Structure 1
Amino acid sequence: MLSPKINASELYQILGGFLKVDRKIRLALPSKGRLRDSSIETVKKMGIRLNENTRSYIIEDAKGIFEIVFARTFDIPLYVHYGAADLGITGYDVIVEREADVYELLDLGFGDCSLVAAVPESSEISSIKSLTGTPRVATEYPNITRKHFESLGKQAEILTVRGTAELAPRLGLAEIIVDITETGKTLKENGLKIIDKILDSSCRLICNRISYRIFENKINEIVERIRRTP
């Protein structure tokens, strides 16, 4: 059972929420790709029925209990953190990068991948620990990257890029990249080798702290239903 400490302003929001406890529960899902498909399968385990053919970014379930919001994976932790969504499905890597203050209710068992540091195969760099100087690092994960380098006592000039980080070494933008990989195949195809694993990730069901207080029974029921359904 979750029992967080709450301050006066949060208590006010909770009490206000209980007055509206009959409102729909808002669930944020990835809007694209395999994570969207797997997330919709998880939603079915919750007993939620959706119109999967719609192109709308906000839809209601057939029973009118849930409101489903389709959003960028990187934005979902913010939606849940700030209460724009009560629940969300997104990657652990994104939760850590966004530094979202949310409850992680379940590891959903899909979307497995690793955040790694990689360099050109011709590079003499063998690990982050062996680095000298201040290399440029291209990544979509600047917060995680900065903290990882600092934990090893290393400095780096971190360049935030959005996708295709693999191009950075080839174009001379950076000596190192930090990126997500499932099998390492894309890295190899771009002439890169892994020199460090930073974290392992998978998709998680997350919850806003205040929303958990408001919808505790319903959310616990959802979690148990997912656990019971293969």
Structure 2
Amino acid sequence: MSVLKLGIPKGSLEEATIELFDKSGWQIKMKSRNYFPEVDDTELSCSICRPQEMSRYVESGMLDAGITGKDWTLENESDIEVITDLVYSKVSKKPTRWVIAVPGDSEITSIEQLEGKRISTELVNVTKRFFQEKNINVDIAFSWGATEAKAVSGLADAIVEVTETETTIRAHGLRVIHELMQSNVQLIANKSALADPWKRKKIDNIVMLLEGALRADRIVGVKMNVPETSLEEIITLLPSLNAPTVAKLYKQDWFSLETVISQHQVRDLVPKLKDAGAEGIIEYSLNKVI
């Protein structure tokens, strides 16, 4: 029997990834001190690994596909295929940002002033390419962690670090002078695996359901009973992905009306529907929108 080898990212994305797969139809169960979680699909084998290493494992064929960040795929210069971008609502609805920051009391205000300076970062290769393209000569050193402290302690003139809100950077007394790049979560695949018809189909099915689950986030179904005299008025009130579903109730001059809308629209919409004559209004959550 064929099996697809899938990489699950360890760390900040781990819980959100497992929750997303659960919503998509796969239960992935972690075991204590085990890097090979159980999954309720005999056609799927999961491994846990750091996002920084994911693209290397996928490129080598040790994994057929995996979830990681765009930043680490670019950092490793991996020869893989990016299948889709995933916006994790429970982690961030915005891309993460890699920024260049300096101590708050530094005289440096632009990247040009970093000529000949020392920069500390975990994203070494991307940073090197960035400054080479700008024709700015800098000394770049790999940081094994606590990157902000390198600039604070004087071990580096600037850092390149990932952030969402800049809260941690500002808390260390640092100041952002440039955004180097934005990154987002991606599902990547090995090119040889994609050449296998069975694995390609399995990956495509996973992507379809993952994207369907993400699309359903903050979207709800709304169902109601509507008198025939109010039907057209109520239909005009409804925002919808497509035209609403309308069905006549048995032996009555009433209709059942159903649609899908953004969750934030419900609080303003329901009173209007009620005033227009709708009854039995039901709001329900969705797992997927395909």
Q: Name the TM-score class by shorter chain.
A: 0.7 to 0.9
Q: Do 2:101 and 2:158's aligned partners in 1 also have CA atoms closer than 8 Å?
A: yes
Alignment of 1:159-174 (within 5 A): 159-174=141-156
Unaligned regions of 5+ residues in structure 1, if any? 1-21
Structure 2 letter corresponding to 1:98: N
Number of residue equivalences = 207
Alignment pair present for 1:23 and 2:2: yes
Alignment pair present for 1:224 and 2:208: yes
Instruction: Compare CA radii of gyration and give the structure with the larger one.
Output: 2
Alignment of 1:1-230 (within 5 A): 22-32=1-11, 34-52=12-30, 54-110=32-88, 111=92, 112-132=95-115, 134-214=116-196, 215-229=199-213, 230=216
Summarize deviations over 1:10-54 as a string: whole Å, max 9, x none: xxxxxxxxxxxx33111111122x310111123224422222454
Structure 2 letter corresponding to 1:166: E
Q: Distance in 1 between matches of 2:44 and 2:207?
A: 15
Q: Do 1:116 and 1:181's aligned partners in 2 also have CA atoms closer than 8 Å?
A: yes
Q: Distance in 1 between matches of 2:47 and 2:15?
A: 14
Q: More strand per residue: 1 or 2? A: 2
Q: Distance in 2 between matches of 1:142 and 1:92?
A: 14
Q: Identity, % of aligned pairs?
A: 31
Q: Do 2:24 and 2:212's aligned partners in 1 also have CA atoms closer than 8 Å?
A: no
Q: Distance in 2 between matches of 1:131 and 1:139?
A: 14
Q: Distance in 1 between matches of 2:191 and 2:158?
A: 37
Give the alignment's TM-score, normalised by structure 1.
Answer: 0.85
Q: Cα RMSD (Å) of the superposition?
A: 1.5
Structure 2 letter corresponding to 1:221: N
Structure 1 letter corresponding to 2:124: P
Kindly indicate whether structure 1 or structure 2 has the higher relative contact order, using CA contacts under 8 Å at least 6 residues apart. 1
Give the alignment's TM-score, normalised by structure 2.
Answer: 0.68
Q: Distance in 1 between matches of 2:3 and 2:43?
A: 5
Structure 1 letter corresponding to 2:190: N
Q: Do 2:7 and 2:63's aligned partners in 1 also have CA atoms closer than 8 Å?
A: yes
Q: Distance in 2 between matches of 1:192 and 1:125?
A: 12
